[in-house]
Amino acid sequence: MSFAFGVTLFALGILISVSLHEAGHMLTAKAFGMKVTRYFVGFGPTLWSFKRGETEYGIKGIPLGGFCKIVGMTPQDDDVEPGDEKRAMWRYPVWKRTIVMSAGSVTHFGLAIFATWLAAMTFGLPNPDFPRTDEQFRAQSAMIAVQDCVLPDTVGRECAAGDAPSPAAVGQLRDGDRITSLNGTPINNYGELLTALRAATPGSTATIGYERDGQPGTTETVLATTKRPPLDDPAGPVTDVAALGVGLAVTTPGLVSYGPVAAVGATGDFLGDMAVATAKAMQRLPEKVPALWHAITGGERDVDTPISVVGASVLGGEAVANDAWELFVMLFISLNFFIGVFNLLPLLPLDGGHIAIAWFERARSWAYARLRKPDPGRVDYFKLMPFTYVVILIGGVFTLLTITADVVNPITLFPR
């Protein structure tokens, strides 16, 4: 029940975001005097509508987005009624058209900023000092968390009642102890502990130096045997290795909360990092297509592959089902930020394509004026239609791939 509620709630959040996106276009267009004839939430058959002034507002039957109709977006549009010629959007100054066309993305950015600021003051934002890569984890001090047992292989199961206690537990090591040596080899960080264990013989007795509450200590225990891949090649072949039955006790908090003022700076830093990550992710989109196809045809789904709104909603459902509301909000923030950036790409039919054409016309007119040549006028959108269709086709295929992958082989962040 909570999973279904989470999926529905996240999908509703997406619908509201897109509806506000279109409202941003509508409100800025109206503010400049442009004529907006329709504003609808959803697509398909009209379920309910009313007209106020010159604009019809309503709800469509398919809740997958929304739209608003601004009269005369391009010189080729034939929706301008007699007497409204001066109100056609394409006749307005380029800066006004830029504001109107970018208002949708600005709305998404505004939602992301506000949600991030609220998150910073409540459950917190990701701590930039928290270790996230193997190298960062191995550089941490070798403060341990004692495991209940050592599983004999890499099968992902929990310790059972019949499993022998871990060597660390037998040696009376405790959570929070810091390992300082193994068989006389000094240990300065967790990575050195892993390396020393790999050099030890499985089943041998090991002498372990540790520090507890600032006091040094020594213990002996028989190392267990388990199977693991090489440290420098996680995808390599597994072999028998020695195991102590400990994990890294990370003392750095994963999330950090802030006051209202400090949250402003933290929000800027977080979204700045997200902007860099988004740019890198968009650059890698073409190389992710084979990975999506691999997932669709039965291969393992890489968690780094793109997801659709379907996949995002499923993850939102998982987050709610596991009471991970911070993940739910982070997904909402990430999706809004990505949509805001994506819509500004200088490609038709995206908003960024219209903005790029408007400024191209302005620059071309300026250049021709300096050359004392007649103004070449407006861009003919009909000539750009083949390129627009290519963008739509590529975008449609990519969307179909991501939705299919999210249905047949979804990404999951929690064990089921």
- DSSP for 125-187 reads EE-TTS--SHHHHHTS--BEEE-SB--SSS------TTSPBPHHHHTT--TT-EEEEETTEE-
Please state the rounded mean pLDDT for residues 164-185.
90
pLDDT value of residue 350: 93
pLDDT band at 330 (very low <50, low <70, confident <90, very high): very high
Backbone angles phi, psi at 341, to 5 degrees: -70, -45
pLDDT value of residue 134: 67
pLDDT value of residue 189: 87
pTM, full prediction: 0.81
Helices marked H in 243-344 — which ranges?
260-283, 285-296, 309-321, 325-342
Domains of the chain by residue range: 1-35+71-127+256-416, 134-248
Tell me how far the alpha carbon of residue 303 is from its chain's centroid. 11
Class of domain 134-248: mainly beta
Over 60: is that where the pLDDT of 416 sits? no
CA neighbor of 246 nearest in space, from 182, 133, 166: 166
Sign of CA dihedral 350, 353, 354, 356: positive
Of 257-261, 286-290, 383-387, which range is least confident? 286-290
| Residue 416 CB burial class (10 angstroms; 0-12, 13-18, ≥19) | exposed
User: Within 13 Å and on the Cβ side, how many CA atoms surround 64?
Assistant: 7
| Residue 335 CB burial class (10 angstroms; 0-12, 13-18, ≥19) | buried
Helix (H) / strand (E) containing 245: none
pLDDT value of residue 48: 92
Which residues lie below 8 Å from residue 357, measured CB to CB, with a gap of 6+?
Answer: 348, 379, 381, 384
Over 90: is that where the pLDDT of 26 sits? yes
Over 70: is that where the pLDDT of 160 sits? yes
pLDDT band at 154 (very low <50, low <70, confident <90, very high): low
Over 70: is that where the pLDDT of 35 sits? yes
Please state the rounded mean pLDDT for residues 344-356.
94
CA–CA distance, 279 with 259 (Å, rounded to integer): 29
| Residue 112 CB burial class (10 angstroms; 0-12, 13-18, ≥19) | buried
CA–CA distance, 312 with 102 (Å, rounded to integer): 24
CA–CA distance, 117 with 262 (Å, rounded to integer): 10
Please state the rounded mean pLDDT for residues 150-155.
71
Over 90: is that where the pLDDT of 79 sits? no
Over 60: is that where the pLDDT of 162 sits? yes
Of 49-63, 111-125, 243-257, which range is least confident? 243-257
Which residues lie below 8 Å from residue 215, measured CB to CB, with a gap of 6+?
Answer: none
pLDDT band at 58 (very low <50, low <70, confident <90, very high): very high
CA–CA distance, 149 with 170 (Å, rounded to integer): 10
Catalytic residue list: 22
Over 70: is that where the pLDDT of 32 sits? yes
pLDDT digits (tens, 9 = 90+) for 135-145: 777 777 778 88
CA–CA distance, 188 with 180 (Å, rounded to integer): 6
Of 47-51, 96-100, 116-120, 280-284, which range is least confident? 280-284
Rounded to the nearest integer, the mean pLDDT of the chain is 89
CB atoms within 10 A of CB 27: 16
pLDDT value of residue 302: 80
Q: How many residues does the chain have?
A: 416
